[in-house]
């Protein structure tokens, strides 16, 4: 594929421009889009400087040569290259350090009891362990536009919806 050399044209020229020229000129122009883009990029750069400045502000490089480092880890054997350990390092003496790995927290599996099988604005339906359904009415918030009568009508409509959706399951048993 042959390439052609594009000559620089004066800015007041009305000849067609190459796409690359347009893309180069666009961020440098004085259009609202270009000035907004420049302000945005300045804000992003300033925010990145603040974040990295705060992150590494209180860290100091300190190299100890010829020290004894004892590792207390949760798994036997060598640590794989590039692995990270979460723990505490202490200095025991002039040239001895001790690193103790922090205990890993076991994730507890939560068992949801009586899950909600229908969640409405007025009525919720829970499925109990013995596969029966339990209705629960939500606490209404009454306003001048939403009265007790409005709540009862809305709850009745939801109960009809529940009967249509879940009523067929009971008839099959």
Distance from C-alpha of 113 to C-alpha of 117, rounded to nearest angstrom: 12
Whose tokens are 């990029």? That residue is 41
pLDDT tens by residue, 78-91: 888 888 888 888 88
For residue 76, what pLDDT is reported? 86
Whose tokens are 């945005």? That residue is 40
pLDDT computed for residue 13 by the predictor: 67
User: What pTM did the predictor assign?
Assistant: 0.35
Question: What is the model's pLDDT at position 58?
Answer: 61
Residue 74 · residue 103 · CB < 8 Å: yes
Provide the greatest CA pair distance for the chain. Answer: 85
* pLDDT score at 137: 92
Supply the pLDDT for residue 29.
79
Instruction: List C-alpha distances in Å: 18 to 2, 4, 27, 33, 168.
Output: 15, 11, 16, 20, 67
pLDDT at site 165: 85
Per-residue pLDDT 10s for the chain (173 aa) are: 555 555 555 656 677 878 777 777 777 778 777 788 788 777 777 766 655 555 555 666 677 778 888 888 888 888 888 888 888 888 887 788 888 888 877 777 777 788 889 899 999 999 988 888 999 999 988 888 989 999 999 999 999 998 888 776 555 54
> How many CB atoms are closer than 10 A to CB 117?
14
């Amino acid at each position: 594929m042959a390439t052609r050399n594009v000559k620089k044209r004066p800015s007041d020229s009305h000849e067609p421009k190459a796409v690359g020229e347009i893309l180069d000129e666009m961020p440098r122009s004085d259009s609202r889009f270009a000035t907004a883009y420049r302000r945005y990029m300045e804000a992003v750069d300033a925010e990145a400087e603040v974040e990295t400045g705060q992150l590494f502000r209180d860290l100091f490089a300190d190299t100890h040569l010829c020290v004894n480092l004892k590792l207390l880890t949760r798994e036997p054997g060598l640590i794989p290259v590039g692995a990270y350990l979460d723990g505490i390092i202490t200095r025991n003496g002039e040239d001895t350090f001790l690193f103790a790995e922090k205990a890993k927290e076991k994730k507890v599996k939560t068992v949801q009891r009586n899950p909600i099988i229908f969640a409405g604005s007025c009525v919720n339906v829970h499925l109990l362990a013995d596969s029966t359904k339990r209705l629960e009415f939500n606490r209404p918030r009454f306003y001048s536009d939403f009265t007790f009568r409005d709540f009862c009508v809305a709850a009745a409509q939801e109960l009809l919806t529940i009967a249509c959706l879940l009523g067929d399951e009971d008839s099959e048993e």
